[in-house]
Structure 1
Amino acid sequence: MTPDTKKYRHLEIRSLVIQAIRDFFTGNHYLEIETPIRCPCVIPEAQIDPVVSEDQYLQASPELCMKRLLSKGFNKIFQICKCFRKNERGSYHLPELTLLEWYAKDDTYLDLMDQCQGLITFIAERLNRGNQIIYQDKIIRLNRPWQKLTVRKAFDIHADTSLSAALFDGSFDEIMGFKIEPHLGNTSPCFLYNYPATLASLAKLLPNNPQYAQRFEFYMAGIELANGFTELTNPVEQTKRFEIENKIRCSQKKAVAPLPDKFLADLEKMPDAAGIALGVDRLVMIFCNAPSIDDVVTFTPENL
């Protein structure tokens, strides 16, 4: 029996993309690490429901453990791992997904943007794509500089209401999903940056404007690929922010997440750093010109 030709080609590209990721980071002196995917605590987040595994949780991100490693002297680290999101399913969503995360001491979110550019360009060169990627009839040019757009400016350009009004009436996510994101990264990759402070519970705030945080999201072809920020390293402030997230969860009739006490204790020793999570499945979609995330994984949940 011969394998499905299109599926085989997609999985072949997936393998090449993952190998290129490893080569990029090891070539830039990052240490590849592995952390547990099953943990007693997860990040308290209002919008992400943890998956329970007996008396523990399956990680939605390896962020807590990776930042604890930073506090113990690991200065440049990355990992490619499985993560889990409850009730997430769609053309761009899987309940079990593959994430790339990397962290580096003394970096900021501006450094992460440069690293994203370097990584995507490196993969494109490895796949002989030159200076452009074609995705669903969109020609995305990789010639630098890439677009950078503040969240406030994106609302001014693409939305029919202001950022302040969207935050006040709770329509931020809906407007982002339907009005703004489809316009991002269609001709060149795009960094949407300086998120409202209330939407960046683990990020440092802008020193000259604390209403906004040093957080960005990275887009290609209207698809969010990554979320990165300059890390908050103040354990007292971080505890307050986690408690706010739990209050929101409580107001939504959701279970309160236990505070990650060991992480908060280590945070006091964590150096200034920046970190980012990038969706490998979505990135492979882009390089395969595949319309659905189902096309670039071996098995979907429905086929197991």
Structure 2
Amino acid sequence: MPAASPWWTPHVHADRRGFLLARGRIQAAMRAYFAARDFIEVDPAALQVSPGNEAHLHAFATEAVAGDGAVTPLYLHTSPEFACKKLLAAGEQRIACFAHVYRNRERGALHHPEFTMLEWYRAHETYDALMADCSALLALAAETAGAHRLMFRDRQADPFREPERLTVAEAFERFAGIDLLASVAANGDTDMAHLAAQCRTAGIRVAEGDTWADLFSRVLVERIEHRLGIGRVTILDRYPVAEAALARPAADDPRVAERFELYACGVELANGFGELRDAGEQRRRFELEMAEKARLYGERYPLDEDFLAALPLMPEASGIALGFDRLVMLATGAPRIEHVLWAPVAEAAR
């Protein structure tokens, strides 16, 4: 049974209400930002045949029952990305959405099982345009909230300063003393033994059965992420292609991809791509991710064949997902994500 929720107690709600009203003002300001730039706001359905195909994202499963009793498995999406890219394939040029998304096994100060993702896409534009959007939106959120700084716990960032743009390889070298790309071949293949040796030298734990991806994530979490976006916002750019998700390889270096993440106050806020349009390569990546999910968690999700069929029709584009609730937290100084959600989901009793 869920534990009794404190959020409806009048004095608790009164303490949160200022954050919630600021949330509404920030959302309205962002809608105006996109409208002024000829974006169309779309509203993708949350029920999908595939919730997404990343190994470490966990979905909520359900089913549709037809009048004759036939059952179709469905999922609540972990992102509106597949639907948005289908709309680009259909001919839309600039789209944005505030989508409720659902991720299981995630709860904490910065995580909630249902949250709001702000996603936007620009056809025929590079992902540098998304970086400019991010800089403008962070400043807009702070200005709308009446804040001079973004804040989370004891960390601050000035949203009005130009962000630092740092490659993943530079971050590994600066914060961990690791030459990351020395463990990545020209075709994108990774060398676990090479990275493991560097991790041991750097004093980072290497466990039996670790993969290259495990070590990559451990270095990122233990040595890098909490040091990003301190003082000013950081754009962490050019992820190795093995960590590219749905991003295309960089034209000047096939070892890395057109993928960046946005950090402020040590908090990851957004994940942006120069979008991959090669359906065969996307299928290969999805299948690798689902094989890893099956190995780690004993389950896999279906592929969205409509999405894969739409990819070749999609124009060159860039797209990004931003955790809207997290940005509201940082702009208002809220201590936990529940403080900026109108109706948080009750926690299970322990």
**TM-score (ref. length: structure 1):** 0.93
Structure 1 runs, 4 residues or longer, greater than 4 Å off: none
TM-superposed deviation, 1:34: 0.5
Partner of 2:43: 34
Whether the 8 Å contact between 2:150 and 2:265 is mirrored in structure 1 is no
Deviation for aligned residue 1:135: 4.3
Deviation at 1:204, TM superposition (A): 0.5
1:149 and 2:158 are equivalent in the alignment:
no
Structure 1 stretch displaced more, 215-224 or 155-164: 155-164
CA distance in 2, matches of 1:265, 1:303: 39
**Structure 2 gap ranges (5+):** 1-8, 64-72, 184-194, 197-210
Structure 1 unaligned runs (5+)?
Answer: none
Q: Deviations over 1:100-134 (max 9, x none)?
A: 0000101222111111011122233333335x445
Report the CA distance between 1:169 and its aligned residue: 7.0
Which position in structure 2 is the counterpart of 1:112?
130
* 1:7 and 2:51 correspond: no
Aligned equivalent of 1:232: 276
**Paired AA for residue 176 in structure 2:** A
Distance 1:266 1:173, change over 3 A: same
Match of 2:341 in 1: 297
What is the alpha-carbon distance in structure 1 between the residues aligned to residue 270 and residue 104 of structure 2? 19
- Give the whole-Å Cα distance in 1 for the aligned partners of 2:335 and 2:140: 23
What's the counterpart of residue 264 of structure 1? 308
Query: Secondary structure at 1:171's aligned position in 2?
Result: helix
- Do the aligned residues in 1 keep the contact of 2:155 with 2:266 (CA within 8 Å)? no
Preserved contact between residue 227 and residue 266 of structure 2 (Cα < 8 Å): yes
Matches within 5 A, 1:154-173: 154-159=171-176, 161-163=178-180, 164=183, 165=195, 168=212, 170-173=214-217
Amino acid at match of 1:181: E
Q: Deviations over 1:129-166 (max 9, x none)?
A: 35x44543444223442111111111111125443416
Which shifted more, 135-144 or 282-291?
Answer: 135-144
For 1:134-283, list aligned pairs within 5 A. 134-159=151-176, 161-163=178-180, 164=183, 165=195, 168=212, 170-283=214-327
Question: Which moved further from structure 2: 134-143 or 292-301?
Answer: 134-143
Aligned length: 303
- Structure number with greater Rg is 2
Distance 2:60 2:308 in 1: 22
> After alignment, is 252-261 or 158-167 more displaced?
158-167
**TM-score, normalisation: structure 2:** 0.82
Q: CA RMSD in A?
A: 1.9
